[in-house]
Amino acid sequence: MKKFPLYGWLGILLVIVFWYLNWSLQGLRTQWGFFFLWFGYALTVDGIVAKRKGSSLIQRSVKKYFLLFLISSPAWWLFELLNVFTNNWRYMGCEYFTGMQYFLLASLSFSTVMPSVFGTAELISTFKWAKGIIVKKSFRINRSSIKKYFIAGWIILLLIIILPEYFYYMVWIALFFIIDPVNYWLGNKSLMRYAEAGDWYPFLALAAGSLICGLFWEMWNYYSYPKWIYNLPFLNFAHIFEMPVLGYIGYIPFSFELFAIYNLVTSTKAVRNEGFILEINNDQNKHG
C-alpha cells in the first residue's frame, strides 16, 4: 500500500474544521462552509482509495479530477430545474441572498456532488466483501429495447411535470432512462452495457457510494443553516435527519444518473480527451 497522501490529511482537516463551523456558528454565517466540508470529504476519500490500491481519481489525473467539479454543478442544476415542478425540497435561508449570490454559492456547493459520489464508489470497490457480491446474470439488450427505455424516460419526465404529486419520486430514474440509451448508442460507457455483459458490480459500487454520501449530506445538513428540508407526499414519516427514511432509496438511482450524465458530457469533442473511466469494475483490484 502507498502512504496516505498529503492531500488526504488536508481533507481530514477541512472536514473537522468545517463540520465544527457549520454546526456551531449561528445565523447565515455557514453558507460558505458547505463547499469546503465536502471538498474535504472528497479529498479524504480519494486519499483512502489511493492508499488502499495505489490508484485513485486524483492519482490518475488531477486535471481530470477537477473536471468532475465543473460537470457536477450544471448536472445538479438539472435536478433543481425538475424540483421546480415537484417541490420535493426547498432551502431555508436562501431568501436572504440575492439571485446572483444564491446562484454562485449553490453552484460552488453543487460542484462537490460527483467527486464525492464517484470517489466513494471507487472506495467501495477496494473491499473484498463488496467484490464477493457477484450476480452473473446478463440483461438482454437490443436496439428495440434501448429505444423503449429512451421513450419511457421521456414519458416518465412528462408525468413528473404533469402529475408531480404522484410521480415526483421518478425524478431519480427519468434522466437515466433518457441519457444512458444515448450513451449506449454513441458507444460511451453505459450501465446498460455493463448489464448486457452481466457485470452488475458498477451498479453496486455506485449505489453504495451514493447512499454513503446521502447519509453524510443529510447529517451535515441537519444542524447547518441555511439548510434544505423535504416535502415528499405519502412518505413524510420515519425521518433520518430531515429525510424520510424511504427517501434514501432515491440516492441509489441518482448515482446511475450521475454516471450517465458524466459519460455523456465527456463524450463531446471539447472534453473527449479529458474524460476518464472510474475503476469500479469487479476485476480491478484485490485489496481487502
Condensed to tens digits (0 to 9), the pLDDT of residues 251-280 reads: 999 999 999 999 999 987 556 666 677 787
Show the beta-strand stretches assigned E in the chain: 89-92, 227-230, 239-240, 243-244
Which grid cell sits at 200? Answer: 452488475
- CA 231, 233, 238 angle in degrees (round to 5)? 75
Question: Rounded distance, CA 17 to CA 172, Å?
Answer: 32
Indicate the helix (H) or strand (E) that contains 230: strand 227-230
pLDDT, tens digit, 9 for 90 and up, residues 86-108? 999 999 988 889 999 999 999 99
pLDDT digit string, tens, across residues 143-167: 889 999 999 999 999 999 999 999 9
Q: Binning pLDDT at 50, 70 and 90, where does residue 286 land? A: very low
How many CB atoms lie under 10 A from the CB of residue 254? 24
Distance (Å, whole) CA 234 – CA 76: 25
pLDDT at 284 exceeding the cut of 70: no
Specify the length of the chain in residues.
288
**Residue 278, C-alpha cell as written in the block:** 472510474
Q: Please, are residues 107 and 77 in contact by the beta-carbon 8 Å criterion?
A: yes
Q: Could you write out the DSSP letters of every residue in 149-186? A: HHHHHHHHHHHHHH-HHHHGGGHHHHHHHHHHHHHHHH
Cell numbers for 32: 460558505
Interval 41-98: pLDDT, tens: 999 999 999 999 999 999 999 999 999 999 999 999 999 999 999 999 999 988 889 9
pLDDT tens digits for range 109-123: 999 999 999 999 999
Peptide bond into 74 cis (omega under 30): no
